[in-house]
Chains A and B, each alone.
Chain A
Amino acid sequence: MKITREDVLHVAELAHLELTESEVETYRRQLDSILTYVEKLNELDTVQVEPMAQVLASADPAENISLREDVPRVCEVTREVLSGAPDPSPPYFRVPKVIER
């Protein structure tokens, strides 16, 4: 495995994380070591193995996902929710301008 500085910057961009210069180097080294370790998974032949996204799939239908009826309910939490926002402008959240002219 060879994680480069560019890889780290690319991933940080995808993840919306601003990193300091020293973090870039630390994460490069650590991700490299962790991903090198993860490569041991390649020792296993999994071509015939189904991927497992969750554990609920079971022969027993009772164990499987149980969905409730889709019934609309009143949910008046706007004031409470906005009270925790960093910059509320009821009934909206305010953010820096997105559209440039």
Chain B
Amino acid sequence: MSTAEQWTVDSVRAALGAKKVSARELTTEYYARIEKQNPELNAFLALCPERAYAQAERIDGKIARGEPLPPLAGVPMAIKDVISTRGVTTTCGSRILENYIPPYDAWAVECLERAGAVLLGKTNCDEFAMGSSNENSAYGPVRNPVARDRVPGGSSGGSAAAVAAGLAVAALGTDTGGSIRQPGALCGVPGMMPTYGRVSRYGLIAFASSLDRIGPLATSVRDAAAVLGVIAGRDPNDSTAAAVSVPDYLAGLQQPVKGLRIGIPKEYFAEGMDPAVRQKVEAGVELLKCLGCQPVELRMPHTDYAIATYYVIATAEASSNLARYDGVRYGLRIAGSTLLEMYKKTRGRGFGSEVKRRIMLGTYALSAGYYDAYYLKAQRVRTLIARDFGEAFGHVDAIITPTSPVPAFRLGERTAEPLQMYLADIYTVTGSLAGVPGISVPCGKTPAGLPVGLQILGPRFGEASVLQIAQAFEEAGGYTI
């Protein structure tokens, strides 16, 4: 059996084809790694070895019979715990769903298994994907594998940490305001948010339905592209999954980037960025210029309003989506003498403090007398932010920004003031509101050894060019810049 520390989709395929390793052995290797590292990292909340080994046997059977292998054959993967998996607990990082076992698989999960992936288990996350540090999980925070006294970012912190620590070759995360890209940046792995509508949300437990997206985290752009290609496309179960054809992302990776116009928005390089992050991201932009990309200075004047807009819209949608957790049909129930008392006690004790804060904020923004002033206002400003992007993509092929203004911070360091935590989402919420795709790729480390992320945003359904630039950046040594 190979002792390769870091497997990739391609190396798994090659090793399986050459019979150097079996899918079963690979699965065993990953479970051994998880058993060793997870007690400290807390990246996985649940493992599903029966399901994983059954899938591995199917792949090994195909190999024995000489059948063609599907695109992700034998690739050990992890799934964020807000994505439904039939027969495997799906808690959303919340007490209120502590024992919840979905009766069906999410579309993306079905796609992965059909493509041969071996699903190892479910990864930790901020409760209902609400958070930027993974400290809002009811099951304890995840530790950043790069610096174990620090957060992995959030909300897909478990997925990012699992990939960065080599406990999975790739993982699914979800991104509502930065929840794939920011933990990718903080853990030093690529993380991609596809266009809204590119990947079906069927089976994704809803936080903010007009913003939620499923996407991959992996150790290379190529692997992220391979996973995206498998999960993208139309799904009759989600009317927002667009009927736009899915290009061959892997085939497009080697297209030259010379001559592509990259927009550098002034507003994203203003004050408030950690100097060590700035230095790396500016070096990243220089590298792209050396590769022949043409820089174009941009103005995106509504950027400064994105956090306020996002936190009104996302919490309003959340307050509505999370109304379903009432102790009647699934999850936790705290007894009460009346139905209403049962609802209130169940929700009061079942939800953690960040989730309750957001439900309160969203309920307020939607309540009589405040709807126009907050929710409607935010929806109007969202139009302005989306227009900034529309105009920018009239001049450029991609937009380059930092992913996060700060590198991974210490556990507990930023939990006191929620608004301060929200403000750090500034570079990611804009693309979320506009519905465009974006990837965060590693862009060197700070002098303290903490990973920095470079964000590449593209026009709607422009994943191919985003991945192409990311691939060129990776090949040119951008990860260790």
| Chain A residues within 8 Å of B, Cβ to Cβ | 7-8, 10-12, 14-20, 23, 26-27, 30-31, 33-35, 37-38, 40-44, 46, 49-56, 58, 62-68, 77, 80-81, 83-87, 93, 95-98
Contact = CB atoms under 8 A, between A and B. Distances in A.
Interface string B109-124: 0000000000000000
B243 interface: yes
A58 B384 contact: no
A66 B243 contact: yes
Nearest to B312: A38
Contact of A7 (B339, B364, B380, B383): B364
Given A41-B305, A46-B381, A85-B330, A11 B99 contact: no
B11 interface: no
A9 to B, nearest CB: 11
Contact of A37 (B234, B384, B419): B419
Contacts of A58: 460
Contacts of B196: 55-56
A53 B340 CA distance: 31
B381 A16 contact: no
A52 B367 contact: no
Nearest to A18: B348
A40 B308 contact: yes
B240 to A, nearest CB: 6
**Residue of A8, A23, A84 with highest tally of chain B CB at under 10 A:** A84
A12 B360 contact: yes
B376 interface: yes
A101 to B, nearest CB: 14
Contact of A8 (B304, B360, B378): B360
Given A34-B419, A44-B305, A63 B329 contact: no
Contact of A95 (B339, B344, B384, B418): B339
Given A34-B419, A84-B100, A87-B333, A46 B377 contact: yes
A12 B338 CA distance: 17
Contacts of B103: 77, 80-81, 84
A55 B430 CA distance: 13
A27 B356 contact: yes
Contacts of B269: none
A34 B386 contact: no
From B323, B328, B331, B332, name the one whose CB has the most chain A CB atoms within 10 angstroms: B328
Contact of B348 (A17, A51, A54, A55): A17
Contacts of B15: none
A86 B381 CA distance: 42
B249 interface: no
B379 to A, nearest CB: 4
Contacts of A49: 380-381, 383-384
B379 A53 contact: yes
B19 to A, nearest CB: 39
B395 interface: no
B434 interface: yes
A15 B244 contact: no
B359 interface: yes
B24 interface: no
Contacts of A87: 333
Contacts of B381: 41, 44, 46, 49
Contacts of A34: 311, 361, 418-419, 422
Contact of B418 (A30, A40, A41, A86): A30
Q: How big is chain B's contact interface, by range?
A: 35 or more
Interface of B: 99-101, 103-104, 196-197, 210, 234, 236, 239-244, 302, 304-305, 307-309, 311-312, 319, 323, 326-333, 335-345, 347-349, 351, 353, 356-357, 359-361, 363-364, 367, 374, 376-384, 386, 417-419, 422, 434-435, 460-461
28 contacts: A8-B360, A11-B367, A17-B359, A18-B348, A31-B361, A31-B364, A37-B307, A37-B419, A40-B308, A41-B308, A42-B377, A44-B381, A46-B384, A52-B380, A54-B240, A55-B197, A62-B243, A63-B242, A63-B461, A65-B239, A67-B239, A81-B329, A84-B329, A85-B328, A86-B328, A95-B339, A96-B341, A98-B338
Nearest to B340: A16
The 8 A-B pairs at the shortest CB distance, nearest first, are namely A55-B435, A18-B348, A51-B379, A86-B333, A46-B380, A18-B344, A68-B236, A80-B103
Contact of B460 (A19, A63, A64, A65): A63
Contacts of B329: 81, 84-85, 93
B374 A15 contact: no
A38 B374 contact: yes
A15 B197 contact: no
B377 A84 contact: no
A46 to B, nearest CB: 4
A40 B312 CA distance: 12
Contact of B240 (A35, A56, A85, A96): A56
A81 B304 CA distance: 45
Contacts of B460: 55, 58, 63
Nearest to B322: A15
A53 B210 contact: yes
Given A84-B99, A84-B101, A16 B242 contact: no
Given A18-B344, A63-B461, A95 B328 contact: yes
Contact of A23 (B330, B356, B367): B356
